[in-house]
Amino acid sequence: MKIFSAAQLKKADELTIKNQNISSTELMERAASLVSAEIHKRLQNSDIAIKIFCGVGNNGGDGLVIARHLIEKGYRVKVFVVNYSDNRSNDFLINYDRLKETTNDWPEYIKSEHDFPEIDQNDFVIDAIFGIGLNRPLEGWIAKLIDHINNSKAFILAIDMPSGLFSDRIPKKEDSLILANFTISFQTPKLVFFLPQTMDYVGDLQILDIGLDREFLSSEKGKAELISKHEARLLYKPRKSNSHKGNYGHALVVGGSYGKIGSVLLSSKAALRTGAGLVSTYIPKCGYSILQTALPEAMVITDKNDEKLTNIDHKMDPSVICFGMGAGKDPETIEAFKKLLQNTHKPMLIDADGLNMIAENKELLKFLPKKSVLTPHPKELQRLIGDWKDDFDKIEKVQDFTQSHDLVLVLKGSHTFIFGDGHMYINNSGNPGMATAGSGDVLSGIIAGLISQQYEPLAAAILGVYLHGLSGDIVAENRSYQALISGDIVENMGAAFQSLFAD
């Protein structure tokens, strides 16, 4: 699903009104009716006090439509107009009149702190104060109202966006914004719903298809693409019945040091479980028996050194080399890595200590084969590209970095971002249970396993990240977040592939 900017959404809005020959009031009616239907589906006529806070723009207009529909269905609704301006939008005014025809319990106006209503913890609050139209921080009594709503501890449903959240920038620490439990947004999600600095305000997220202009949605280039099952499925390449292991490539996993052989084991196993035809490992001698015993399907070559990598002389022609997990940063290992880079021309996957070596020896960057995949977590990214001001600045810097070196970059996080070919993809699978030792090693193995099967590096990164999260979700469902360990993600790759096509 594409992610658009506020300006693009406004354009989609206008085109829809023109091409479908409807009024903006009708579009609002369509969008907000869908929201009230969702609320009704969940509340099932329960006798709960619903308090709807409506701004005086179109987000407020949505709130008024929702109020009317819920009142018609018999809910106990109280509407508050947050009168931040005397300029009311046309659709606000139309729906204000329609609401007054529906109920005798007319909206109450909030014009200062004195008008703040009491909000009980058991109330159901709907935030329809500001949507994508917010263009400056909230001030004065409006900011205080937001804090008042948050402090009530009531359940908060935000319409389109939590009020106070901008669509295109990060709010300052001192800014007031709604901390929603649930957000229902229209047509496409907004980028800020997925950024580490702003995602917590959104709560659970639901996107409603309000039928905006199809032609625009499919032809317009998005700011980013959200990767869910549908998008992942399109990347999947089925296996041919007339094939042999040679068709699925050979992944070479290079890494490990004394006490860290497990990382290579996890990556190698993940590559095999993802479908690589052959997997070899290149490790220090101390790992030989460990790997041969724990993973008889893999071939093992050892360095002449017992505890670290000193000379990566593999004499093979692998389809992909995955480097870095557990490798440490010994000067001899760095030298060996440099030689490996100089002698490799196919895209590589670089993780963990491999990334740290590049961060500390930037001259290595020029030896990286084009389209290599780097898989940093935020701290590793910072070592690679330096500090950033905020999440928007970070995105810009990563785009510059990946484009100038022609790389694919997987920025790991609760929503992992994938950058490549000038585009940005945001993963939508996975869960907090996956923040556990070795999870990154498994991801590297999955992506390497896909590259070895001739997926383009960018496609391998996108699909790999999605499958990794999907497998983690399957584990969490059966085992809880806390009990999930990385080996479980590998073991459930089969279930993840099956689930890709389950519905």
Ligand X SMILES: NC(=O)C1=CN([C@@H]2O[C@H](COP(=O)(O)OP(=O)(O)OC[C@H]3O[C@@H](n4cnc5c(N)ncnc54)[C@H](O)[C@@H]3O)[C@@H](O)[C@H]2O)[C@@H](O)CC1
Rama region for 262: left / alpha / beta (φ>0; ψ in -120 to 50; rest) = alpha
**Helix (H), strand (E), coil (C) string for 411-471:** ECCCCCEEEECCEEEEECCCCHHHCCCCHHHHHHHHHHHHHHCCCCHHHHHHHHHHHHHHH
Nearer to K ion, 190 or 412 (CB): 190
CB of 62 to K ion, least distance (A): 8
Nearer to ligand X, 59 or 428 (CB): 59
Q: Which does 158 bind (CB under 5 to 8 A by kind): K ion, ligand X, none?
A: K ion
Number of residues that bind ligand X (CB under 6 A): 30
Query: Which of 261, 296, 358, 450 is closest to 282 using CA atoms?
Result: 261
Are the beta carbons of 166 and 192 closer than 8 angstroms? yes
What distance in Å separates the CA atoms of residue 283 and residue 291, rounded to the nearest whole number? Answer: 9
Among 55, 203, 256, 328, the residue binding ligand X under the rule CB under 6 A is 55
- Answer yes or no: is 33 a known binding residue: no
Q: Which amino acid is at 146?
A: I
Instruction: Please report whether residue 450 would count as binding ligand X according to CB under 6 A.
Output: no
Instruction: Please report whether residue 89 would count as binding ligand X according to CB under 6 A.
Output: yes
Q: Which residues of 249-271 are buried (b: 16+ CB within 10 A; e: fewer)?
A: bbbbbbbbbeebbbbbbbbbbbb
Packed helices 378-385 and 391-405: angle between N→C axes, nearest 10 degrees:
60
In terms of Cβ atoms closer than 10 Å to its own Cβ (0-12, 13-18, 19+), residue 159 is buried
Among 163, 183, 188, 429, the residue binding K ion under the rule CB under 5 A is 163
φ/ψ of residue 96, rounded to 5: -65, -45
Query: Which of 222, 308, 230, 226 is closest to 264 using CA atoms?
Result: 308
**Binding string, 419-448, against ligand X, x = CB under 6 A?**
------------------------------
Q: Which two tokens stand for residue 6?
A: 């506020």
What distance in Å separates the CA atoms of residue 350 and residue 126, rounded to the nearest whole number? Answer: 46
Residues of span 100-129 touching K ion by CB under 5 A: 127
Residues of span 188-247 touching ligand X by CB under 6 A: 212
Q: Which stretch binds ligand X (CB under 6 A): 55-63, 69-77, 300-308, 431-439?
A: 55-63
CB of 198 to ligand X, least distance (A): 16
Instruction: Please report whether residue 28 would count as binding ligand X according to CB under 6 A.
Output: yes
CB of 154 to ligand X, least distance (A): 21
Q: Which does 31 bind (CB under 5 to 8 A by kind): ligand X, K ion, none?
A: ligand X
Q: Which does 9 bind (CB under 5 to 8 A by kind): ligand X, K ion, none?
A: ligand X
Among 58, 176, 188, 429, the residue binding ligand X under the rule CB under 6 A is 58
Q: Which amino acid is at 89?
A: S
Instruction: Please report whether residue 62 would count as binding ligand X according to CB under 6 A.
Output: yes
- Answer yes or no: is 415 a known binding residue: yes
Query: Which of 185, 186, 193 is closest to 167 using CA atoms?
Result: 193
CB of 53 to K ion, least distance (A): 9
Collapsing DSSP to helix, strand or coil, 479 comes out as: helix
CB of 428 to ligand X, least distance (A): 21
Q: Which does 239 bind (CB under 5 to 8 A by kind): K ion, ligand X, none?
A: none
Q: Which does 58 bind (CB under 5 to 8 A by kind): K ion, ligand X, none?
A: ligand X
Among 31, 192, 410, 446, the residue binding ligand X under the rule CB under 6 A is 31
Instruction: Please report whether residue 159 would count as binding K ion according to CB under 5 A.
Output: yes
CB of 129 to K ion, least distance (A): 6
- Answer yes or no: is 430 a known binding residue: no
What distance in Å separates the CA atoms of residue 254 and residue 237, rounded to the nearest whole number? Answer: 26
φ/ψ of residue 367, rounded to 5: -90, -10
The sign of the torsion formed by the CA atoms of 24, 25, 30, 31 equals positive
Neighbours of 318 (CB within 10 A): 23
Among 59, 183, 429, 452, the residue binding ligand X under the rule CB under 6 A is 59
Collapsing DSSP to helix, strand or coil, 146 comes out as: helix
Number of residues that bind K ion (CB under 5 A): 4
Packed helices 261-273 and 493-500: angle between N→C axes, nearest 10 degrees:
30
Concatenate the DSSP letters of all residues of 167-189 into one string.
Answer: SSSPPPTT------SEEEEESS-
**Binding string, 383-412, against ligand X, x = CB under 6 A?**
------------------------------
Q: Which does 127 bind (CB under 5 to 8 A by kind): ligand X, K ion, none?
A: K ion
- Residues belonging to the binding site for (6S)-NADPHX are 58-62, 131-137, 160, 326, 377, 441
Instruction: List interacting residues with ligand X (CB under 6 A).
Output: 9-10, 13, 27-28, 31, 55, 57-62, 84-85, 89, 130-138, 159-160, 186-187, 212
Question: Which residue ranges make up the annotated binding site for AMP?
Answer: 412-416, 440
Binding site as annotated, residues? 58-62, 127, 131-137, 160, 163, 326, 377, 412-416, 440-441
Binding site for K ion (CB under 5 A): 127, 158-159, 163
